[in-house]
Amino acid sequence: MPPQILRFMANNLVIVESPAKAKTIEKYLGKDFHVVSSFGHIRDLDKKNMGIKVENDFEPVYIISDDKKKVVANLKSEVKKADTVWLASDDDREGEAIAWHLFEVLGLRNKDTKRIVFNEITKKAILDAIANPREIDQNLVNAQQARRILDRIVGFEISPVLWTKVKGGLSAGRVQSVAVRLVCEREEEIKNFVSKDSYNVKGIFNTEHSKTPIAANLNKNFNVKEEAVGFLNHLINATFTVANTNKKPSKRAPQPPFTTSTLQQEAFRKLGMSVERTMLVAQQLYEAGLITYMRTDSVNLSDYAVFAAKEFIEKEYGSKYSKIRHYKTKTKGAQEAHEAIRPTDLSRKTLPDNILNNKLYELIWKRTVASQMADAEIEITTIDIAVSQREEMFVAKGEVIIFDGYLKLYSESVEKDEQNVEDEENLSLPAVKKNEEMYLVNAVSKQTFTAQPTRYNEAMLVHKLEELGIGRPSTYAPIISTIQKRNYVIKGQNTGKTRQVSIIKLEKGTIKETSVKENYASEKNKLLPTDIGEVVNKFLCRFFINIMDYNFTANAEKELDTIAEGKLKWQKMLETFYTPFHNEVVETSKTAKREKAERLLGKDPKTGKNVFAKIGRFGAMIQIGEVGEEEKPVFASLQSNQSISTITLEEALSLFALPRNLGKYENEDIIVSTGRFGAYVKFGNKLNVSLPKNKDPYAINLDESIELIKAKQKSEAQKQEIMKHLPKTLGRIDDKDVVLNHGRFGAYVTWNGKNYKVARKDDFLSLTFEEAKAIIKSSKSKK
């Protein structure tokens, strides 16, 4: 719609979900348009009686929460001033539901209300949306309602069962519980994994006319060391010839532009960003008008984006680097009709502002442009080297990039799993002829081990959920976040284990055997099930197998898609689900025994009492003795890296070593203990110092604890010196004092009954009145 048309529309109110989005949109509309924010959903299901009238065809009972009442009042006030209301929430089911709730709560009328959607916040997209309004799509609203009600039913009915049968305060979720199951099953695979060893052989060869070394791997591994030694012995007097050479061209195509899932995975691998952080930053980029909508499973690009990429590539790299591509979505159950995630302006290669936003933006920009570039052309050379009087062959492989194509700009990362065999690769191989004689420089046989299954990291779990058809672009990040917040899954790291590895080397006709120490199974930022997570998972899998079934969850997503298409009534879906599920809940509540979740580790050598690892009221713990005995049992909490399923008796008993008296300093006892907030050092009655995460309370010594005490004493002395100068009045604004002070969370300025944080840590006492005014002004404008 041309801008001049907008001038004839008086008193237009546009409602979006977020203030940042409102600010960007208002720039593109004329003075007759006022843009306000609903700050997300304005109402949700009542928490009383589940918020659903099951007997009345699953009628939802919505209420406006206390924190949204003022927002609703302000919106109603704005609506009264407007001739036309434009509902501009996001173009997905959640956004459609927000628009519908606004329509209902604000008492809007169809004739005065228009629903507009857009895939990017640019002037052209906004004006096009204004020119092409539509009505609220009730099918999308119903799909969102069905999901919300289904999730509420599962959570509200199963959680009380967990309270009585496992532990108080627990909760279950329709999709989150399935995600926890994936993590638990992978952990079970690792526990049951038995590694098998074998011996590979690698040789270094050259030819009469070329001394360029050629690395080659034997095409067979030996099961026992004796076989490997026997083969190396044979090589001493063997002859080697080229059995076959093969050169073949190959092409490598770029990956499609980002979907929500692939962006989360690549940002995790390349930038180390969590799934939740990636979506937060992507939303900031979208609301600033820099990228298209970030919740999508489409890999399609608009014609504008395709030709803008073509223009840039030809100008920057030349026409041979350009190749127009149209991608099709192959994801199981893909539903969204958006574009892939791309920059709104491909001429903007980078951003000047926040470095994290910039890194994610550059990743999106490179992936988008690379998706429209030519294939990389590669030449792969293979040389088979025969060994006299043996069937085995050495195989040398070389790879040369003939034309880099899209690799000039971007290369995809891959998940690095521990490899069973370390393949030797050559960048290029010298020219050889069939039957040409080869000369062995040396050969090495190394003991290798099959690798255990890899634990999921956030990116891998998102990929697995998408592969199974579980969840949607809008739910991946909340799923990963929720299972960690509920303490069913934690991010952990493993420094790995060590083992001795045999290496047998043949060189100059002599075989030498050595043994080296090798680290393996080290992992970082991997998802581990907690003890309570494993207990809850076992309970749910035993009694609620339908809810925990991967196919059930994926099929529920398909049914929600069918509702969104208007081909299934949402009440019908819930009715089919509810009756058997509710009966299952009732039956489990009556018949299931309380989950003990405990292991008998053995007996305490001092007292002869049984030692248990179990789940208690406050989590995983060790118990010495039993309830009902004359002496009450004693308890100790497990450390964060310990589990009731793997902890040994010796490790369990060591947990009762606290408190430990390390000795004296300045005639005061130094005691290491643990409390509500973790381990700490107690210095007489004078001082408590929290232990840093890298300090083990069971291993810290007297000297280390004294260093911690001295550091805390110095810090306290500095704080007391600072407090002598505080509070400090810097000046007055509107006849009200501006006062500098310091508290638990650092320095702050107080004015007009409100506190404003001061970012400085060390020299905040030098803060001037002008600087304080700027802090107050900046904070007010942000709000």
What single string gives the DSSP state of each residue in 553-618? HHHHHHHHHHHHTTSS-HHHHHHHHHHHHHHHHHHHHHHPPPP--EEEEEE-TTT--EEEEEEETT
Tokens of 331: 């994801």
Q: Do the beta carbons of residue 264 and residue 256 sit within 8 Å?
A: no
464 close to 480: Cβ distance less than 8 angstroms: no
Q: Facing residues of 620 across strands?
A: 615
Q: Which residue has the tokens 């110095």?
A: 714
Query: What's at 702, amino acid-wise?
Result: L
Q: What is the pLDDT of residue 415?
A: 66
Is there a contact between 379 and 402 (Cβ–Cβ < 8 Å)? yes
Residue type, 714: K
pLDDT reported for residue 416: 59
Look at strands 510-520 and 497-507 and give their pairing.
antiparallel
CA torsion angle 212 217 219 220 (round to 10): 140
**Do you find a cis peptide bond into 659, omega within 30 degrees of 0?**
yes
- C-beta of residue 25 within 8 angstroms of C-beta of residue 117: no
For residue 94, give every residue at least 6 positions away whose Cβ sits within 8 Å of its Cβ, in sequence order, or none: 144, 474
Contact 525, 491 (CB under 8 A): yes
Structure-token match 């690549």, residue found: 266
User: Residues 451, 496: contact at Cβ < 8 Å?
Assistant: no
Query: How far is Cα 368 from Cα 257, in angstroms, rounded to an integer?
Result: 5
Evaluate whether 242 touches 438 at the Cβ level (below 8 Å): yes
CA atoms within 13 A on the CB side of 68: 18
Q: What's the pLDDT score for residue 331?
A: 61
Are residues 758 and 747 in contact, defined by beta-carbon separation less than 8 angstroms? yes
- Beta pairing partners, 438: 207, 240
Q: What pLDDT shows up at residue 312?
A: 95
AA letter at 322:
S
Residues in Cβ contact with 715 at an 8 Å cutoff, skipping those fewer than 6 apart: none
Strand partners, 34: 13
One DSSP character per residue, 342-382 reads -BS-TT----SS-HHHHHHHHHHHHHHHHTTBPPEEEEEEE
CB 584 within 8 A of CB 544: yes
CA atoms within 13 A on the CB side of 81: 13
CA distance 450 to 430: 33
Q: Tell me the CA distances in angstroms from 291 to 38, 130, 178, 342, 607, one per residue in order.
A: 22, 20, 32, 5, 66
Q: What is the pLDDT of residue 335?
A: 47
The pair of three-digit structure tokens given for residue 411, joined into one six-digit string: 């290369």
Query: What span, in angstroms and rounded, lies between the C-alpha atoms of 73 and 247?
Result: 74
pTM of the predicted protein model: 0.82
Residue 179, SS3 per DSSP: helix
Q: Beta strand pairing status for 84-87 and 113-115?
A: parallel
State the pLDDT at residue 2: 45
The label of the residue with tokens 């890999």 reads 299
The burial class, CB within 10 Å (0-12 / 13-18 / 19+), for 523 is: middle
Q: Please name the residue that has the structure tokens 């043949």.
A: 506
Per-10-residue mean pLDDT, the chain, length 783? 47 92 90 92 92 95 93 95 94 94 95 94 94 95 96 95 90 94 95 95 92 93 96 96 95 95 94 93 93 92 94 96 89 62 94 80 96 96 96 95 94 62 64 93 96 93 93 90 93 84 95 93 89 94 94 93 95 95 95 86 91 82 84 82 85 85 89 79 87 82 91 84 84 90 84 85 78 80 47
Looking at residue 781, its pLDDT comes to 46
CA distance 95 to 293: 12
Separation of alpha carbons 380 and 245, rounded Å: 11
Cα separation values, 283 from 25, 96, 153, Å: 15, 18, 30
CB burial string 584-601: b at 16+ within 10 A, e below:
bbeebeeeeeebebeeeb
Q: E strand or H helix at 234, and its extent? A: helix 225-236
Active site residues: 293
Model pLDDT, residue 210: 81
